[in-house]
Amino acid sequence: MTALIETRRVSKVFGGFQALDDVSLAVRAGELVSVVGPNGAGKTTLVNLLTGLLSPSSGEVLFMGRNVAALGPVELADRGLARAFQLIQIFPRLTVAETIGAAVVSRQRKRWRLLASFAADRDIAARVREVADIFGLGHRLAAVAATLSQGEKKLLDVASAFALEPQVILLDEPTSGVSTAEKHGIMRTLVDAAKAAGVQAILLVEHDMDLVAAYSQRIVALSAGKVLADLPTEKFFSDPGLIAAVIGKRRGH
């Protein structure tokens, strides 16, 4: 099966520092693939390469079979790859409806419209409510984003990315800062919403191993900029040494 998004022997060098070294991975339709690794493993660099914020020093980044290494995040979103960007930290005074509406307006090629005008557009308003309902935020449309609970803020971040109608969505620690009790509820909502929205695949960057174990079909482990493992979830978690390497603990002697 052809990969929806992949890297082929990608490396990234910053000055004299090798952040990624010969990294290859592929995400196919129907998969939720988690990228894990200790701090400094190269996860953030990989995410930024995949979403067009950085270009590789060598190698290829492909989306739907096309090299997209030179494209930025806006063009990639237009092609069907979206990333949750924590917009509420950038626009905390927008309401839930306005935050989702900004993404809907962008997707519908109505970028020249002011945010204040989208409420008068029935198609946009209907899409905003549809997305909000998928994420359980339909009753919070008029709420200012800054007043939401931490869990609701996370859902709003991802709802905005879903409003772009992506085929692949990249989630970078979507439950960080959320209480342990809320994490699984949020992840279930995200996975269910992906199916409802027609998203074909999810790439998840996550440090919480409980979430990784519960929701991944496959796990790609990075260490010091290299791929340490690319395994089905059960095989990954059957290797104690691999788990220790990923969470940054030293093996016993």
Which residues, including other chains, have CB under 8 Å from residue 139's CB and lie 6 or more apart?
A: none
> What pLDDT score was predicted for residue 187?
92
Per DSSP, 237 falls in state H
Dist CA 245 CA 222 (whole Å)? 9
pLDDT at 92: 82
Q: Which of 136, 153, 162, 150 is nearest to 88 (CA)?
A: 153
Calculate Rg over the CA atoms of the chain.
18
Backbone phi and psi for residue 245, each to the nearest 5 degrees, phi listed first: -65, -40
Write down all domains in the chain, each with its CATH number in brackets.
1-80+168-175+200-253 (3.40.50.300), 84-165 (no CATH)
Residue 154: what pLDDT? 87
**pLDDT (0 to 100) of residue 10:** 96
Q: What is the pLDDT of residue 253?
A: 31
SS3 227: strand
- Give me the average pLDDT of each 10-residue run along the chain (253 residues): 90 93 94 92 91 91 87 83 72 88 72 53 86 93 92 89 88 86 90 87 92 95 94 94 76 34
pLDDT confidence of residue 115: 53
CA distances to 46, 115, 208, 226 from 24, in Å: 10, 40, 23, 9
Q: What is the Cα–Cα distance from 82 to 114, expressed in whole angstroms? A: 22
Query: What's the pLDDT at 120?
Result: 59
Kindly report the number of other CB atoms within 10 A of residue 117's CB atom.
13
SS (H, E, C) 181-195: HHHHHHHHHHHHHHH
**Assigned token pair, 179:** 């209480």
d(CA 155, CA 203): 16
Query: How far is 44 from 217, CA to CA, in rounded Å?
Result: 21
Residue 167 identity (one-letter amino acid): Q
CB 68 within 8 Å of CB 62: yes
Taking the CA atoms of 8, 13, 14 and 20 in sequence, report the sign of the dihedral they define: positive
Is there a contact between 57 and 239 (Cβ–Cβ < 8 Å)? no
Query: Looking at residue 70, what is its pLDDT?
Result: 73
